[in-house]
């Protein structure tokens, strides 16, 4: 595994996007093809700080408030068929934690941050390359890498974070392509052990206690219908 996460903004994931059917005209466009859509109210119930980006003046262009994040998350869940509330809660909690409540799309800490690391999952450069290849194609990645060094890493990252759907799509791809069926069953069961197994056995990070409150809040919000 490439994923090692020892700080708030460390993770490593990739996206392999494919087309999803458009919703009918009378459907909620923030929840294409889903029966239990995530709304901005859902995200605010999980983490009230997502209601606004007003407290994020340093990197304002990177912050995604709940209204902006919800449709991108729904699209990603639809694309990768993440339908269980347990899996959805885990992915939302993990994204919130890694990106500082959707404040960051790049690694900035400790300053100046690690070149090439980003997305809402704070994917490490090797996975960003795989992710960008899937989303933008090998030719685009090669062109970006031609800049060389840190500039090349950041150019590849830009292919990944160029829109919200791509940036928020990494976690669902990672879950479906990397985690074992046993880990997924644990998330579906919504148990503490299942959540911690996801962190330690699939993400390969620590099951630090500070990660648990967001997961608990996400389960509560999704199961209450917020």
Q: Looking at the domain assignment, is residue 12 inside a domain? A: no
pLDDT confidence of residue 226: 67
CA distances from 16 to 2, 53, 90, 218 (A): 17, 29, 20, 25
**Confidence (pLDDT) at 196:** 98
Q: For residue 207, what are the CA distances in angstroms to 5, 45, 203, 214?
A: 11, 23, 10, 13
Give the per-residue pLDDT at 82. Answer: 96
Mark out the alpha helices in the chain (DSSP H runs). 40-46, 66-79, 85-98, 125-136, 138-145, 149-160, 164-168, 170-178, 181-189, 192-197, 212-223
Residue 113: its pLDDT value, please? 94
Q: How confident is the model at residue 8 (pLDDT cuts 50, 70, 90)?
A: very low
Residue 24 pLDDT > 70: no
Higher pLDDT, residue 16 or 3: 3
Q: How far is CA 205 from the centre of its chain?
A: 15
38-54 pLDDT, tens digit each? 999 999 999 999 999 98
**Domain assignment present for 196:** yes
pLDDT at residue 178 in the model: 86
Two structure tokens written together for 129? 């390359």
Q: Is the pLDDT of residue 146 over 80?
A: yes
Q: Considering only 7-11, 97-101, 200-204, which range has the smallest mean pLDDT? A: 7-11
Q: Is residue 114 part of a domain?
A: yes
Q: Please give the torsion angle defined by the CA atoms of residues 135, 107, 205 and 6, in that order, rounded to the nearest 10 degrees.
A: 160
147 or 171: which carries more pLDDT confidence?
A: 147
Helix H, strand E, coil C: the string for 85-112 is HHHHHHHHHHHHHHCCCCCCCECCCCCC
Select the highest-mean-pLDDT range: 3-17, 167-181, 193-207. Answer: 193-207
* pLDDT tens profile 186-219: 999 999 999 999 999 999 999 999 999 999 999 9
Q: Taking all residues of the chain, what is their mean pLDDT, rounded to a whole number?
A: 85
What pLDDT does 17 receive?
A: 33
- The CATH code of the domain that includes 190 is 1.10.530
Q: The whole model's pTM is what?
A: 0.82
Q: Please indicate, yes or no, if residue 24 is contained in any of the structural domains.
A: no
Which domain covers residue 154, as residue numbers? 61-223
Q: Is residue 47 part of a domain?
A: no
State how far Cα 56 lies from the chain centre.
Answer: 19
Q: Which of 4-8, 10-14, 25-29, 38-42 has the highest mean pLDDT?
A: 38-42
- How many structural domains is the chain composed of? 1
Residue 213: inside a domain = yes
Is 42 a member of any domain? no
Determine, yes or no, domain membership for 9.
no
pLDDT tens per residue across span 117-137: 999 999 889 888 988 888 789
Q: Are 169 and 17 in contact (CB under 8 A)?
A: yes
């Amino acid at each position: 595994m490439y994923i090692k996460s020892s700080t708030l903004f460390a993770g490593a994931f990739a996206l392999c996007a494919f087309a999803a059917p458009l919703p009918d005209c009378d459907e909620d466009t923030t929840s294409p093809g889903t029966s239990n859509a995530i709304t901005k109210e859902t995200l605010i119930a999980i983490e009230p700080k997502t209601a606004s980006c007003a407290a994020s003046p340093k990197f304002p262009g990177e912050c995604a408030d709940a209204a902006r994040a919800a449709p991108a998350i729904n699209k990603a869940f639809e694309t990768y068929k993440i339908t269980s509330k347990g899996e959805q809660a885990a992915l939302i909690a993990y994204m919130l934690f890694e990106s500082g409540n959707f404040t960051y799309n790049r690694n900035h800490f400790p300053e100046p941050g690690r070149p090439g690391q980003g997305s809402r999952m704070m994917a490490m450069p090797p996975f960003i390359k795989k992710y960008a290849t899937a989303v933008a194609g090998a030719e685009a990645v090669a062109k970006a890498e031609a800049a060389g060094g840190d500039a090349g890493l950041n150019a590849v990252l830009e292919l990944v974070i160029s829109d919200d759907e791509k940036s928020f799509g990494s976690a669902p791809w990672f879950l479906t392509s990397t985690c074992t069926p046993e880990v997924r069953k644990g998330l579906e069961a919504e148990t503490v052990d299942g959540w911690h197994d996801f962190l330690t056995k699939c993400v390969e990070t620590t099951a630090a206690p500070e990660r648990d409150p967001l997961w608990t809040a996400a389960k509560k919000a999704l199961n209450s219908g917020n």
